[in-house]
Amino acid sequence: MLRLKFHKDSKKKTSEKTLKGKISKLPALDIPFKKGLQKKRKLRIWRILGIIFFVIIALALINYRTTLQYALDAKDYLSGVFGVHKGETIAKVNGVPITESDFEKQYDLFFFMRGLPTTYKVLVDKNMVLEQVINEELLLQEAQKNGISVSDQSVNAVLKAAINNSAFTEETLISILQSRNLSMNDLKEYYRRNIIIIALLNKTIESKVNITEFDTTMFYNESISRYTAKPGEIRLRQIVVNSSSEAEAIMNDLKEGVDFVDLAHTYSIDADSASYGGDLGFVNRTGIEEKEGKNVADAAFSLKIEETSALIKSDDKYYILRREANIISYEELEPVIRQGLENAMRNTLITEYMANLRAKAKIEYFSWAAPENATEAGTGINETTQTNETAAINSTSVP
């Protein structure tokens, strides 16, 4: 699992010059404030979170794009149209061959791990998927140089945890894999490769990810308008339940000092807001009235800051509202701002690391993968390619 390292000295004041150098390398952030308000929950599947994080990294490492050109059958798109053979070498990475069958396996896994049907193959530029396969091979070669490996026992444990926390039984998963011309061994190999790559990135990248309190404070101050209610808006939380008895029980809990956020997480039937402790963000009267009803809107806009409403009935539902301050505090947002800045810095460092690996590598392309200016089909073209400097940022943490 990729672990975020919070340095003990992160609260030390950083010079403005140092910060500017650091921020200049970060992509622009777009952090919806709600993400910072979500209550953290323990996950039993922590061992596979690094794998999911790698999916995000993989998309950042390649210049992913789609094409609107529809082909016929997906398999014909790979084999018939290009006339390739399973054992044919389509690329070499520092002398290590990637065959057509290797690529097709990775191509199938690319779609399977994202829950996409194979018919979507015709929408994806397979050269871009090949670049991901090449990037992974470079990272695996670098991991080998660093003495990084993973045991079969560890891979099996990760896969077992993934299956146990999914909607599938092992038998169902095997059946689905077979329908995609894949096997459990293919899936294990996928996990093995990604566990090794995560270990490499932990070793080479993670120690360089360092966001200080000065960084997060500056970002908050520069973005304060995003976290302030506009005229006519208030920040509102809600708990919504179906029965009056449950609503009364929650009201009693609130009177006894139980936290509103905890109760919203546990009991509110409005899934979207419940995930964020009942937080609706900044709302106006019209929006609340259209969605929840006039009496709910009237109650909401009669509340004072930090005041909780009485029980409100609207249609067949029961509402309990709480008004929050018009400005979201730095203390509340600091975790998500830190996480967003760390993700941005991490993605930048990974992109630079990947570009450096490719700059030093000998990458050869053959068959359909060869550039269009190749003199003849099947001629190897020696090319050193750098990845796109702009990495996509996912401001949420590893799920």
Q: What is the pLDDT of residue 165?
A: 86
Task: Decide if 397 is inside a domain.
Answer: no
Task: Decide if 227 is inside a domain.
Answer: no
User: Is residue 35 domain-shared with residue 91, that is, in the same domain?
Assistant: yes
Domain count for the chain, please give it: 2
User: Is residue 83 domain-shared with residue 171, that is, in the same domain?
Assistant: yes
* Integer Cα distance of 238 and 324 in angstroms: 11
Q: What is the pLDDT of residue 8?
A: 35
CATH of the domain at 275: 3.10.50.40
User: Is residue 169 domain-shared with residue 272, that is, in the same domain?
Assistant: no
* Integer Cα distance of 305 and 328 in angstroms: 12
Task: Decide if 52 is inside a domain.
Answer: yes
Q: What is the pLDDT of residue 372?
A: 59
CB 240 within 8 A of CB 311: no
Residues 6+ apart with CB under 8 A from 178: none
**Structure tokens belonging to residue 322:** 């709480």
- The more confidently predicted of residues 343 and 27 is 343
Which region among 96-105, 178-187, 366-375 has the lowest average model confidence (pLDDT)? 366-375
CB 321 within 8 A of CB 299: yes
User: Is residue 160 domain-shared with residue 183, that is, in the same domain?
Assistant: yes
User: Is residue 319 domain-shared with residue 336, that is, in the same domain?
Assistant: no
In the chain, which ranges are continuous DSSP H helix? 16-23, 49-61, 74-78, 100-112, 126-145, 152-164, 170-179, 184-204, 213-222, 244-255, 260-267, 271-274, 285-292, 294-300, 330-360
CB 357 within 8 A of CB 386: no
Mean predicted confidence (pLDDT) in 382-387:
36
**Structure tokens belonging to residue 331:** 């203390």
User: Is residue 319 domain-shared with residue 363, that is, in the same domain?
Assistant: no
CATH of the domain at 16: 1.10.4030.10
CB 381 within 8 A of CB 374: yes
User: Is residue 189 domain-shared with residue 243, that is, in the same domain?
Assistant: no
pLDDT tens digit sequence for 108-134: 888 888 888 888 888 888 888 899 999
Q: What is the pLDDT of residue 119?
A: 83
**Structure tokens belonging to residue 148:** 């990084």
Task: Decide if 399 is inside a domain.
Answer: no
54-58, 77-81, 243-247: which is most confident: 243-247
Task: Decide if 272 is inside a domain.
Answer: yes
User: Is residue 47 domain-shared with residue 127, that is, in the same domain?
Assistant: yes
Q: Which of 130, 114, 117 is nearest to 62 (CA)?
A: 130
User: Is residue 30 domain-shared with residue 74, that is, in the same domain?
Assistant: yes
pLDDT tens digit sequence for 265-308: 999 999 889 999 999 999 999 999 999 999 999 999 999 999 99
Measured at the alpha carbon of residue 181, what is the angle toward residues 187 and 95, in degrees to the nearest 5?
A: 65
**Structure tokens belonging to residue 207:** 């120690």
In the predicted model, is pLDDT for residue 357 greater than 60? yes
Measured at the alpha carbon of residue 362, what is the angle toward residues 356 and 364, in degrees to the nearest 5?
A: 125
User: Is residue 85 domain-shared with residue 206, that is, in the same domain?
Assistant: yes
User: Is residue 41 domain-shared with residue 60, that is, in the same domain?
Assistant: yes
Task: Decide if 221 is inside a domain.
Answer: no
Task: Decide if 223 is inside a domain.
Answer: no
* Integer Cα distance of 309 and 304 in angstroms: 10
Residues 6+ apart with CB under 8 A from 121: 74, 77, 78, 107, 111
Q: Which of 106, 146, 144 is nearest to 128 (CA)?
A: 106
Where is 282: in which H helix or E strand? Answer: strand 279-284
What is the reported pTM?
A: 0.64
Strand pairing category for 381-383 and 363-365: antiparallel
pLDDT tens digit sequence for 186-226: 999 999 999 999 999 999 999 899 999 999 999 999 999 99
CB 358 within 8 A of CB 385: yes
Q: Which of 207, 226, 200, 197 is nearest to 342 (CA)?
A: 207
Residues 6+ apart with CB under 8 A from 72: 81
User: Is residue 109 domain-shared with residue 180, that is, in the same domain?
Assistant: yes
Domain of 48, in residue numbers: 8-211+332-383
Task: Decide if 217 is inside a domain.
Answer: no
Q: What is the pLDDT of residue 13?
A: 38
